[in-house]
Amino acid sequence: MTDIGEAGRSLRSGRTTSREFTEASLAAAAALDGDLAAFVVLDPDGALEAADAADEAIAAGRDLGPLMGVPVAIKDIVDVAGLPTRCGSSAYPATPAATDATLVRRLRRGGAVIVGKTTTHELACGVYSPPVSNPWDLDRIPGGSSGGSGAAVAAGIVPMAVGSDTGGSIRIPASLCGTVGLKATYGRVSRAGVAALAWSLDHLGPLTSTVEGAAASLEVLAGPDPLDPSASSRPVPQYSSGLDRGVEGLRIGVLSGPPLDPVQPDVAETFAASADLLGRQGAAMVGVEVPELEHGLAAEFGIVAPEAGAYHRDLVRSRPDRIDPGIRTLLVAGLTLAPEHYFKALQARRAIADALRRVFIRNRLDALVTPTLPATAAPKDADDLWFGDSAEPVTLAYVRTTGPFNLSGLPALSVPAGFDRNGLPIGLQVAAAPFDEEMVLRVGACFEAAAGIRARRPPTNSSGAAGARVERGDPAPTG
């Protein structure tokens, strides 16, 4: 499957049809999903009907937007009318959702073709997403909780899949699977019709094969929504229009210190090379530290536990035996801890958000870069990641670099940056000021182009795919 930009150009020029794209997507899912388990349900009839409608619109000269006629997939915590929302849990009923989530309505209105729903880690609360496999190494995790979305895009089954992100659940699978992943500012994409993990930290966004695809997707997904009081009423810019502006004259912070200690050596090398590459494109790279981020994990889980416990309280009481023991422990903690701990975590969240704001303003930063994650994809059976002689639980290691941008609500993008010595993808994270998604996309697009990111695809992929992939096999990008 080609990327969104190329798909749009091909459809509008008449070189291909949405039906052909959709049939290719469904065929790729049929061929690959036995290995990947990226999908929990496919909807071939609904997809082909939508594809034919898109083809009719194109033939009639109507343009519904950048996703018109493009096959997409939806994480299985988002309501799609006619399909069940199981949230990766046997405790959730298989009855179909009656209505679409707001973001699904936006996609349909924009002519997108929904081919199916992707596997999520149970209750969107984890980074393993079993039984999904990473297309780069089937014995390794795809990340999570939007693991099915990451695997589906990386394998070229669809050029865009929707994910959710409470502590990194878009950016973690994006980094581990070698795709682009965009968590926009809190409130930029409506959460109405989406199962919550933690209301005040939950974000929705796209995983895509290119930065251009992420920009196009956000144009469709973003916007105000009376059904979600947290949804911003700010106008939605045309994100795709500024992607070629480069980084000349920008000031970009390069984070060191907490929460980046420790990181795997190949990740450190790739991050340093990535920052150097942005500098050579004309940006002023400014070293910064945010010591307050040392407390990010305590604040993150201090909020997730009580909010998730409250959201799932009926499930915990009525069917606790249907919940994974580790998740059940978190939910029970959320229901039993004294409120003071929750409010303290919320205060800490505000302190961390203020610290990030001060670093941006003091240093006159336009953007901030970090490694998306301190490590590449863990083996499926690993409890810990190893950094030299020290072990760290897989979940904590991944969330410590992504979670700060959930706490602050800032937009954050993961873009492929290179590979480790085992050929596993490494991501670069780009963050910016609130609602400045144009900046993270602009920096990401410049980096993507300069790093020579092209069509290196994972071993498990759709034949004939042309989605963008990092071509190099060594740890560092060139430019």
Partner 1 sequence: MRELGLDHEVFDAAATHADLAERIAQSESLDALLSESGGLDPTAFDPSWPTGDTE
Closest approach, Cβ 264 to partner 1, in A, equals 25
Type of residue at 388: G
Task: Determine the Cα–Cα distance for residues 406 and 347; give it in Å rounded to an integer.
Answer: 14
The residue range among 207-215, 375-383, 429-437, 448-456 that interacts with partner 1, by the rule CB under 8 A, is: 429-437
The residue range among 71-79, 339-347, 381-389, 460-468 that interacts with partner 1, by the rule CB under 8 A, is: 339-347
Q: Which residues of 300-324 are buried (b: 16+ CB within 10 A; e: fewer)?
A: bbbbbbbbbbbbbeebbeeeeeebb
Q: Omega into 233 within 30° of 0, i.e. cis?
A: no
DSSP 321-365: GGS-HHHHHHHHHHHHS-HHHHHHHHHHHHHHHHHHHHHHHHTT-
The three-class DSSP label of residue 283 is coil
The residue annotated as part of the active site, out of 89, 133, 145, 209, is: 145
Alpha carbon separation from 344 to 158, 353, 358 (Å, rounded): 42, 14, 21
CB nearer partner 1, residue 26 or residue 412: 412
183 is catalytic: no
Q: Does 90 bind partner 1 (CB under 8 A)?
A: no
Which two tokens mark 369?
Answer: 């870069």
The residue range among 172-180, 190-198, 334-342, 371-379 that interacts with partner 1, by the rule CB under 8 A, is: 334-342
**Bridge-based pairing state of the strands 39-42 and 367-371:** unpaired
10 is catalytic: no
Instruction: Annotate each residue in 5-34 with x if it binds partner 1 (CB under 8 A) or - if it does not, as one string.
Output: ------------------------------
Q: Does 403 bind partner 1 (CB under 8 A)?
A: no
Residue from the set 39, 186, 398, 447 that interacts with partner 1 by CB under 8 A: 186
Q: Does 434 bind partner 1 (CB under 8 A)?
A: yes
Closest approach, Cβ 463 to partner 1, in A, equals 42
CB nearer partner 1, residue 271 or residue 301: 301
CB nearer partner 1, residue 344 or residue 456: 344
Type of residue at 216: A
Residue from the set 189, 410, 417, 445 that interacts with partner 1 by CB under 8 A: 410
**Quick count: other Cβ atoms within 10 Å of Cβ 358?**
12
Closest approach, Cβ 1 to partner 1, in A, equals 33
The residue range among 105-113, 148-156, 280-288, 343-351 that interacts with partner 1, by the rule CB under 8 A, is: 343-351
Task: Determine the Cα–Cα distance for residues 111 and 474; give it in Å rounded to an integer.
Answer: 39
Q: Does 385 bind partner 1 (CB under 8 A)?
A: no
Q: Does 398 bind partner 1 (CB under 8 A)?
A: no
* Residue of 289, 268, 239, 194 whose CA lies nearest to 413: 239
Count of residues interacting with partner 1 (CB under 8 A): 47
Task: Determine the Cα–Cα distance for residues 265 and 172; give it in Å rounded to an integer.
Answer: 18
Instruction: Annotate each residue in 138-177 with x if it binds partner 1 (CB under 8 A) or - if it does not, as one string.
Output: ----------------------------------------
Q: Does 191 bind partner 1 (CB under 8 A)?
A: no
How far is C-alpha 156 from the geometric centre of its chain's CA atoms? 16
Q: Does 125 bind partner 1 (CB under 8 A)?
A: no
Residue from the set 27, 227, 361, 391 that interacts with partner 1 by CB under 8 A: 361
Q: Are the C-beta atoms of 270 and 371 separated by less than 8 Å?
A: yes
Closest approach, Cβ 448 to partner 1, in A, equals 26
Q: What are phi and psi of 266, to 5 degrees?
A: -65, -35
Q: Does 299 bind partner 1 (CB under 8 A)?
A: yes
Task: Determine the Cα–Cα distance for residues 449 and 350; give it in Å rounded to an integer.
Answer: 35
The three-class DSSP label of residue 98 is coil
Q: Does 328 bind partner 1 (CB under 8 A)?
A: yes
The residue annotated as part of the active site, out of 25, 75, 209, 408, is: 75
* Residue of 468, 427, 434, 319 whose CA lies nearest to 2: 468
Determine which helix (DSSP H) or strand (DSSP E) holds 308, and give its type and residue range: helix 296-311
Closest approach, Cβ 319 to partner 1, in A, equals 9
209 is catalytic: no
Which two tokens mark 307?
Answer: 């909010």
Binding residues for partner 1, rule: CB under 8 A, are 185-187, 200, 292, 295, 297-299, 301-302, 305, 316-317, 320-321, 325, 328-329, 332-333, 335-337, 341, 343-354, 357-358, 361-362, 408-410, 433-435
Catalytic site positions: 75, 145, 169
